[in-house]
């Protein structure tokens, strides 16, 4: 008990300046085991510490407290405590002990799920991410947890801000896989199919040494979203996908590949029978809704193709060509597509004719110029970033070592040895 | 027309009727001497078998007659063809084919045209004797190592096998003479024989290689041989479905061909194949330069005036009559051994070209008038146009309500803007994904490196 009290005093004393905090960290690291031993009795001491000033110490105590198994009642109080801590803690202090912070937040998520109130966890988790991240391009282990909470609570919009950021730094590949997979699911939920395609594409083509289940599930969704958004499925993974993925993904997702093949044949009846036949498989993967969306996108695809060939077409003809049941259905489909902005047309109900128009965009408005300008700016920044990375890489000693050994030698100077050994 | 004649006309009558027509229609041509040569043989009327067969000689005559018999519906024509095949075979030494033809005849032509076992046995015996003689001679020559005689020996073997229908052995023997050829004339002779056997066997890959081999010795080639080689090359391309190349080759055949290549092809065939392939694959400038203004080819076209007419009609945009000529020719073309399986494709290509050419100069086209011009219904025309538009061969859009076809020219400026924005997006996506992957790879590499240390 004494040691714990002494620790509390030291925390209170040493939490003001940065150097003090560092020495405090060493102390805490040494005392960690003893804290864990006393985990059940630490709760009252927490009241003596102020999370907004003594964040690091509070963190250690909190982590030791929540280490053991938690009952539902305890979970309620813990959830409140952790939420308050997250909102009020100091970012610099907790960045000194990121693992502990991550563990605490993960336990927070578990408890929130135990209480079956994922919505309570969404906002605190978002704050936690912002405090843990070193920059907005940094992917922490908390990102996927946050997205999971968003998914479970159907709070998709909250996930939006996180998804719109570009991610360039990753701690753990597994985090990335989960993040992109959950992100893809959220995007599908909000019908941002382009974003979903991007995220799922990242999972599927990420470098991996062995195939993992996340990639397999992501690939299934990738095929379906690709059918909805582009009207064609990816026949082959791009060359930069890992060889493991290229070999195995197709075999593991056979029913989806066949669905994609029958989609490309263009016959609605075939694809519907196929879906009926394999309903259970799709359902067990929780993809049945997406599959149905893919099938209905086929009608859209066919109608879009008609706009390329015809100037005017009767509703009856449209219904026949697209294999719909009646002109009324055709009218509804066309109307929906006009509303969604997928085609430009006018419906003449008196004659039962649809007149297809050209895209009215003339690329002459101010908004368009601004759009183009901002795209150019964005791409220039990206290009600079790429160049920066390239320069950094070309100064890297390991790279120089490898490249130096295999370079061509045209000059006397080229025969100098690239330094073979470095004391890193 | 086909199918109208129930009973077979007597041969004399047919010849007579065709002959008179031939005299009337044939343009004054100084090259031909008999009426028979001027007669339009490949025409819209029912094929005159005797005249047709007279164009060819050797094995191809028999094969063509057999093909005719297999593929025509008219039993009168069938029996006529088989009878002529039988007579021709009796003059030769191919007992295998003889037996086949007799089986096909099946006794329908009377006792004169049944299995003549004595003749078969005699021919086979003579064949064995000749073979032994040739073999002993060849062995003698081989021991003497006289190149010329060995070459002649293998050549004789090749001729022998060819006459007896053993085409594979014939080919091998001819190819063997290659090692003993001393002058370029020998090489040409070997190539021509190999080409002949390959065409009979249907292996057109060999034909192409031997044609190029023969063309590599230009000093020994006389004009008839050059013409023969071009015909053979054209046939090879036709079989390979390379219609443009086939057309070019056939159009280069000079008038020196005459009847010198009757073991393979007749000048009427050169005109027909060349004309149809050119129509299906050439654009207007090439058609005008190489076919219509081609003096040499004009001589060939005179032999098949219907083909000449249809090419002229196509060029002057009289599509209805052009397609009518094509329709008439179709039944006879289906009886020709080289072109029968290409007729459908060629016809489709010619029709598509006609449709595209019709719509090309106009901003808007009334589909009803177009349907009349092409002798089809508006609905059928709409379907054809739709498939052409989807294949991007016609740039137009159909106004289905008023049945008008409007030409549509892509707006370059808008298209460029669209492409620019799209490329920008793709670049964005690719680079971001790449940076992410690079980071992952670096992470993995660091992991591995740290494990090693």
Q: Is residue B35 very low, low, confident or very high in pLDDT (cuts 50, 70, 90)?
A: very low
Chain A residues whose beta carbon lies within 8 Å of the beta carbon of residue B439: 168-170
Both structure tokens of A234:
């990816």
Chain B residues whose beta carbon lies within 8 Å of the beta carbon of residue A201: 433
Kind and range of the H or E element at A185? helix A173-189
- The answer to whether the CB atoms of A201 and B438 lie below 8 A apart is no
For residues A16 and B390, give the distance between their C-alpha atoms in angstroms, rounded to a whole number.
74
Chain B residues whose beta carbon lies within 8 Å of the beta carbon of residue A173: 440, 443-444
CB-nearest to A168 from B424, B429, B439 is B439
What average pLDDT does the segment B276-289 reach? 90
Give percent helix, percent strand, percent coil of chain A, each to the nearest 5.
Answer: 70, 5, 25
E strands, A90-147, are 138-139
Interacting residues of A12 by C-beta distance below 8 A, sequence separation 6+ = A48, A49, A54, A57
pLDDT of B297 above 60 = yes
Name which of A32-36, B178-182, B195-199 the model is least confident about. Answer: A32-36
Single residue among A135, A151, A185 that ends a domain in this structure:
A135
Both structure tokens of A53:
């000033």
Interacting residues of B146 by C-beta distance below 8 A, sequence separation 6+ = none
Question: Directed axis angle between helix A72-88 and helix A118-132, to 10°?
Answer: 30
Q: Confirm whether B370 is domain-assigned.
A: yes
pLDDT of A69 above 90 = no
For residues A235 and A253, give the distance between their C-alpha atoms in angstroms, rounded to a whole number.
13
Q: Confirm whether B223 is domain-assigned.
A: no
Name which of A52-56, B62-66, B245-249 the model is least confident about. Answer: A52-56
- The answer to whether the CB atoms of B449 and A383 lie below 8 A apart is no
CB-nearest to B397 from A202, A309, A351 is A309
pLDDT of B324 above 60 = yes
- The answer to whether the CB atoms of A198 and B390 lie below 8 A apart is no
End-to-end CA separation in angstroms for chain B: 92
Q: Does A396 touch chain B (CB under 8 A)?
A: no
A291 and B373 in contact (C-beta within 8 Å)? no
CB-nearest to B438 from A311, A375, A389 is A389
The neighbouring-strand residues paired with A313 are: A354
CB-nearest to B417 from A310, A363, A376 is A363
Q: Confirm whether A147 is domain-assigned.
A: no
Q: Is residue B132 very low, low, confident or very high in pLDDT (cuts 50, 70, 90)?
A: very high
Q: Confirm whether A402 is domain-assigned.
A: no
DSSP state of A233: -
Residue A363, CB half-sphere, CA atoms under 13 Å: how many? 13
Closest CA to B286 of B310, B311, B306: B311
Q: Does A164 touch chain B (CB under 8 A)?
A: no
Interacting residues of A103 by C-beta distance below 8 A, sequence separation 6+ = A63
Q: Confirm whether A317 is domain-assigned.
A: yes
For residues B121 and A179, give the distance between their C-alpha atoms in angstroms, rounded to a whole number.
88
How close does chain B come to A1, measured CA to CA in Å?
Answer: 40
pLDDT at residue number A384: 93
What average pLDDT does the segment B279-304 reach? 89
Chain B residues whose beta carbon lies within 8 Å of the beta carbon of residue A358: 411
- The answer to whether the CB atoms of B428 and A379 lie below 8 A apart is yes
Interacting residues of B300 by C-beta distance below 8 A, sequence separation 6+ = B253, B255, B267, B268, B270, B271, B274
Residue-wise pLDDT tens digits, A399-408: 887 777 766 6
Pairing verdict, β A353-356 and A310-314: antiparallel
Q: Confirm whether B448 is domain-assigned.
A: no
pLDDT of B5 above 50 = no
The residues of B whose Cβ lies within 8 A of any Cβ of A are: 386, 389-390, 397-402, 406, 411, 413-414, 417, 420-421, 424-425, 427-429, 431-441, 443-444, 449
Both structure tokens of B74:
């008219």
pLDDT of A213 above 80 = yes
Compare all CA atoms of chain B with the CA of A348 and give the residue at the minimum distance: B401
Residue-wise pLDDT tens digits, B83-102: 888 888 888 888 888 888 88
Q: Confirm whether A72 is domain-assigned.
A: yes
Of the two residues B246 and A341, the one the predictor is more confident about is B246
Compare all CA atoms of chain B with the CA of A369 and give the residue at the minimum distance: B417
Q: What is the domain extent for residue A20?
A: 1-135
The three-state secondary structure class of B366 is strand
pLDDT of A62 above 90 = no
Q: Is the pTM of this model over 0.80?
A: no
Interacting residues of A89 by C-beta distance below 8 A, sequence separation 6+ = A51, A52, A55, A58, A59, A131
For residues B421 and B414, give the distance between their C-alpha atoms in angstroms, rounded to a whole number.
11
pLDDT at residue number A159: 82
Name which of A5-19, A404-418, B126-140, B286-300 the model is least confident about. Answer: A404-418
Q: Confirm whether A388 is domain-assigned.
A: no
For residues B84 and B89, give the distance between their C-alpha atoms in angstroms, rounded to a whole number.
9
For residues B199 and B177, give the distance between their C-alpha atoms in angstroms, rounded to a whole number.
19
Compare all CA atoms of chain A with the CA of B429 and give the residue at the minimum distance: A198
Q: Confirm whether A396 is domain-assigned.
A: no
Chain B residues whose beta carbon lies within 8 Å of the beta carbon of residue A312: 399-402
pLDDT of B16 above 80 = no
Considering its fold, how many domains does chain B have in total?
A: 1
pLDDT at residue number A324: 81
Name which of A70-79, A177-186, A345-354, B205-214 the model is least confident about. Answer: A70-79
Considering its fold, how many domains does chain A have in total?
A: 2
Residue-wise pLDDT tens digits, B183-236: 888 888 889 889 999 998 888 999 999 999 888 887 778 888 888 899 999 999
- CATH number of the domain encompassing residue B396: 1.10.10.10
B270 and B300 in contact (C-beta within 8 Å)? yes
Single residue among A90, A105, A135 that ends a domain in this structure:
A135
How close does chain B come to A173, measured CA to CA in Å?
Answer: 7
For residues B238 and B339, give the distance between their C-alpha atoms in angstroms, rounded to a whole number.
8
- The answer to whether the CB atoms of B398 and A311 lie below 8 A apart is yes
pLDDT at residue number B41: 56
pLDDT at residue number B34: 38
Q: Does A166 touch chain B (CB under 8 A)?
A: yes
Q: Is residue B349 very low, low, confident or very high in pLDDT (cuts 50, 70, 90)?
A: very high
pLDDT of A51 above 50 = yes
Closest CA to B42 of B246, B344, B333: B333
DSSP state of B47: P
Q: Confirm whether B450 is domain-assigned.
A: no
- The answer to whether the CB atoms of B440 and A362 lie below 8 A apart is no
Output the CA angle A170-A134-A21, nearest 5 degrees.
125
Q: Confirm whether B376 is domain-assigned.
A: yes
- The answer to whether the CB atoms of A362 and B429 lie below 8 A apart is no
pLDDT at residue number B11: 46
User: Between A and B, how many CB-CB pairs are < 8 A?
Assistant: 94
How close does chain A come to B434, measured CA to CA in Å?
Answer: 9
Share the mean pLDDT of chain A. 82
Interacting residues of B338 by C-beta distance below 8 A, sequence separation 6+ = B235, B238, B239, B269, B273
Q: How many distinct helices (H) and strands (E) make up chain A?
A: 22, 5
Q: What is the domain extent for residue B391?
A: 362-407
Interacting residues of B194 by C-beta distance below 8 A, sequence separation 6+ = B171, B174, B175, B206, B210
Output the CA angle B222-B225-B228, nearest 5 degrees.
155
B340 and B334 in contact (C-beta within 8 Å)? yes
pLDDT at residue number B17: 32
Q: Is residue A215 very low, low, confident or very high in pLDDT (cuts 50, 70, 90)?
A: confident
pLDDT at residue number B39: 44
Q: What is the largest CA-CA distance in chain B?
A: 103
Secondary structure, 3-state, A284-318: HCCCHHHHHHHHHHHHHHHHHHHHHHEEEEEHHHH
ipTM value > 0.85: no
Share the mean pLDDT of chain B. 83
């Amino acid at each position: 008990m004494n040691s714990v009290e002494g620790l509390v005093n030291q925390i209170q004393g040493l939490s003001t300046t940065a150097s003090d905090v560092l020495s405090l960290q060493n102390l805490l690291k040494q005392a960690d085991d003893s804290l864990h031993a006393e985990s059940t009795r630490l709760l009252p001491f927490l009241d003596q510490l102020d999370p907004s000033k003594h964040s690091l110490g509070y963190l250690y105590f909190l982590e030791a407290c929540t280490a053991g198994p938690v009952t539902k009642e305890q979970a309620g109080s813990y959830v409140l405590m952790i939420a308050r801590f997250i909102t009020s803690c100091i970012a610099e202090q907790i960045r000194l002990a990121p693992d502990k912070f991550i563990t605490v937040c993960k336990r927070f998520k578990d408890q929130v799920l135990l209480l079956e109130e994922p919505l309570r966890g969404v906002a605190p988790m978002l704050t936690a991410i912002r405090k843990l991240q070193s920059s907005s391009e940094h992917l922490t282990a908390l990102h996927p947890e946050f997205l999971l909470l968003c998914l479970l609570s159907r709070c998709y919009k909250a996930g939006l801000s996180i998804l719109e950021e570009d991610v360039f730094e990753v701690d753990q590949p597994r985090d990335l896989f989960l993040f992109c997979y959950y992100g893809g699911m959220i995007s599908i939920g909000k019908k941002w199919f382009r974003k979903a395609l991007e995220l799922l594409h990242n999972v599927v083509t990420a470098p991996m040494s062995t195939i993992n289940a996340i990639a397999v599930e992501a690939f299934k969704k990738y095929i379906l979203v690709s059918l909805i958004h582009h009207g064609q499925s990816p026949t082959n993974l791009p060359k930069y996908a890992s060889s493991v993925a290229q070999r195995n993904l197709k075999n593991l997702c056979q029913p989806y590949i066949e669905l994609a093949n029958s989609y490309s044949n263009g016959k609605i009846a075939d694809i519907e029978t196929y879906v009926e036949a394999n309903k259970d498989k799709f359902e067990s993967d929780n993809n049945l809704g997406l599959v149905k969306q893919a099938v209905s996108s086929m009608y859209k695809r066919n109608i879009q193709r008609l706009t390329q060939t015809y100037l005017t077409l009767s509703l009856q003809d449209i219904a026949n060509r697209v294999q719909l049941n009646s002109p009324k259905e055709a009218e509804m489909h066309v109307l929906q597509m006009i509303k969604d902005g997928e085609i430009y047309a006018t419906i003449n109900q008196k004659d039962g004719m649809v007149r297809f128009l050209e895209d009215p965009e003339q690329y002459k408005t101010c908004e368009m110029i601004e759009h183009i300008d901002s795209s150019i700016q964005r791409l220039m920044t990206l290009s600079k970033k790429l160049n920066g990375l390239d320069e950094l890489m070309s100064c890297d000693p390991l790279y120089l070592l490898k490249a130096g050994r295999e370079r061509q030698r045209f000059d006397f100077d080229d025969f100098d040895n690239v330094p073979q050994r470095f004391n890193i | 027309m086909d199918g109208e004649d129930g009973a077979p006309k007597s041969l004399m009558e047919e010849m007579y009727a065709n002959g008179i027509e031939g005299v009337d229609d044939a343009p004054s041509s100084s090259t031909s001497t008999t009426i028979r040569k001027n007669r339009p043989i490949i025409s819209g009327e029912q094929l005159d078998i005797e005249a047709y067969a007279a164009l060819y000689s050797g094995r191809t005559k028999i094969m063509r007659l057999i093909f005719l018999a297999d593929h025509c519906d008219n039993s009168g024509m069938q029996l006529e063809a088989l009878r002529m095949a039988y007579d021709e075979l009796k003059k030769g030494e191919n007992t295998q084919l003889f037996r086949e033809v007799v089986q096909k005849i099946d006794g329908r032509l009377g006792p004169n045209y049944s299995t003549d076992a004595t003749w078969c046995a005699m021919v086979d015996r003579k064949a064995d004797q000749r073979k032994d003689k040739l073999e002993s001679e060849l062995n003698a020559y081989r021991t003497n190592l006289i190149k010329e005689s060995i070459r002649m020996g293998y050549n004789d073997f090749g001729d022998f096998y060819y006459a007896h229908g053993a085409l594979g052995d014939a080919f091998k023997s001819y190819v063997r003479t290659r090692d003993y050829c001393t002058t370029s004339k020998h090489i040409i002779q070997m190539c021509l024989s190999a080409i002949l056997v390959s065409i009979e066997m249907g292996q057109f890959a060999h034909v192409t290689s031997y044609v190029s081999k023969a063309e590599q010795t230009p000093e020994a080639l006389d004009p008839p041989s050059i013409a023969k080689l071009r015909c053979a090359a054209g046939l090879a391309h036709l079989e390979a479905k390379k219609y443009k190349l086939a057309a070019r080759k056939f159009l280069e055949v000079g008038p020196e061909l005459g009847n010198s290549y009757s073991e393979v092809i007749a000048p009427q065939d050169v005109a027909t194949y060349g004309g149809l392939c050119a129509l299906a694959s050439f654009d207007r400038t090439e058609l005008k330069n190489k076919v219509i203004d081609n003096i040499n080819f004009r001589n060939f076209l005179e032999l098949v005036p219907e083909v000449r007419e249809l090419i002229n009609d196509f060029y002057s945009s009289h599509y209805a009559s052009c397609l009518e000529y094509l329709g008439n020719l179709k039944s006879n073309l289906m009886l020709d051994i080289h072109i029968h399986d290409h007729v459908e494709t060629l016809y489709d290509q010619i029709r598509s070209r006609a449709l595209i050419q019709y719509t090309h100069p106009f901003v808007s086209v009334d589909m009803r008038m177009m349907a009349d011009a092409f002798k089809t219904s508006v609905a059928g025309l709409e379907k054809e146009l739709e498939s052409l538009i989807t294949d991007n061969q016609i740039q137009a859009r159909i106004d289905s309500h008023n049945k008008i076809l409007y030409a549509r020219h892509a707006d370059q400026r808008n298209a460029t803007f669209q492409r620019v924005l799209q490329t920008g997006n793709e670049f964005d996506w690719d680079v971001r994904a790449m940076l992410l992957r690079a980071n992952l790879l670096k992470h993995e590499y660091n992991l591995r490196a740290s494990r090693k240390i």
